[in-house]
Homo-oligomer: A and B are copies of this chain.
Amino acid sequence: MSISERKEREKESRRQEILKAAQRVFFRNGFEKTAMEMVAEECQLAKGTLYRYFKSKEELYVSLVQDGIEILDKMIVRELQKPLSAEEKLLAAVKAHFDFTQLYHEHFMVFKMIDVGALSGKVDQEKLDAIQRARATAFERMKNVVAEAIKRGEFKTKHRPQEIVMMLWASSFGAIMMCGEKCQQFEMFKEVDAEKFVMRIARGLIESFKTANVAEEPLSHRASPVRTKKTDKVSEVENEVNI
């Protein structure tokens, strides 16, 4: 051990201090309304110092959620450990995902920003990959539940387990997002109990997996790019339809 090791520990703990301060400031004011100066002040360091630990404002922000991802995974694991049927387990996992977004909604904010692409290009790919891996863990667990359910005949669907989880995941994500406070675009989503809403979708989907009378196309590989039209004007559609 000794010097160089201690140095490293100290550096790491300083890093953690910065993260804690940053969390307080970012989560209080949001990403855009936070200046690096504010973070610097919160942890009693000079602005320049922050850049010795984090490459950019975005990178610092994203770093805030790396442990948040573990939390999500753990919340899901906790559900999957219980002795439940596959259907119940999946529902519990979706519920856990939902709870996570409510309990740690600032973390969820970051995920949203990532998913919308607002941070891409501004953060090290390595960091994004780490988050991806962590999220994939939770994903993998759900996949296994489905795989078993199919093997045991509890689900009759011809979808591959991965696709099933993807469907659940994407739907929940959309539902949670639409119910969020910031998404003020549809009043109606405000009048709905977000949890019930999310769970209802999940239940509906799972139901369809069990019965599997949905017409199946084979597997799904990305087709050729769709985007043919490149209009600057709102031409075509404009003229075709008259209400």
B residues in contact with A213, CB < 8 Å: 207
Interface residues of A in 60-86 (CB under 8 A from B): 67-68, 70-71, 74-75, 77-78
CA distance A116 to B172 in the complex (A): 15
Q: Which stretch from A4-12, A37-45, A144-152, A173-181 is at the chain B interface?
A: A173-181
Nearest B residue (CB) for A132: B185
Q: Shortest distance in angstroms between A206's beta carbon and chain B's nearest beta carbon?
A: 9
Contact flag A201-B171 (CB < 8 Å), given A184-B120, A190-B222: yes
Please report the total number of A residues contacting B with Cβ < 8 Å.
90
Q: Contact at B234–A220, with CB atoms within 8 Å?
A: no
B residues in contact with A184, CB < 8 Å: 117, 120, 128, 132
Of the residues B116, B191, B196, contact of A118 by C-beta under 8 Å: B116
Of the residues B24, B113, B170, B195, contact of A201 by C-beta under 8 Å: B170
CA distance A99 to B227 in the complex (A): 9
User: Cβ of A1 < 8 Å from any Cβ of B?
Assistant: no
